[in-house]
Structure 1
């Protein structure tokens, strides 16, 4: 059985809670990167989510950025993945939508969260 992807409003609501969380509170770079990745993907621009465009748009690198000598995007994406795992294991355990950045790329994926805490009225149907 196929499941429909989470509705865009549910993704945006999860993103805003995530960005305001204690887990992400100390990492401005991770917040900027996550917002950029989710907003571009939600705008239908997933094809733009490449290392060079991320380096320029998020981290202020110039047009001659070379990913083979500057690992800023890979390093920050790795840190972002760790923070997402930490958030969804703790503060965000009952979030209706889980956001992930699969290894090997920068396009976010979303899945409905099967874990529900008693009294959790949030809905992923948007």
Structure 2
């Protein structure tokens, strides 16, 4: 009788569409570990913006946190390595602590010895 029911369920169209399709054994649930907030940041420069701001700035330096999607930004006339290092010290490291990783597109003003010294 059990085999007949099993065969009927295999051929039944509604059983195939609406039936449970869970074919994995039950396992205990585990807490997934996520990286802590403000541990990984991405940084990039937006610009050259065609219309100058009132203060003459044409670039926007943006730093985004991966975990919380928090954004820190500033506008600059020119994004130099000293401006980037000052921004990182003041707006990221002093506020949120030293990040585990900073990801950039390896532009010279974003990836240089000055930035390495700031992180060290």
Shorter-chain TM range is: under 0.3
The higher relative CO (CA closer than 8 Å, separation ≥ 6) is in 1
Structure 1-normalised TM-score? 0.26
> Which has the larger strand fraction?
2
Structure 2-normalised TM-score? 0.26
> Which has the larger helix fraction?
1
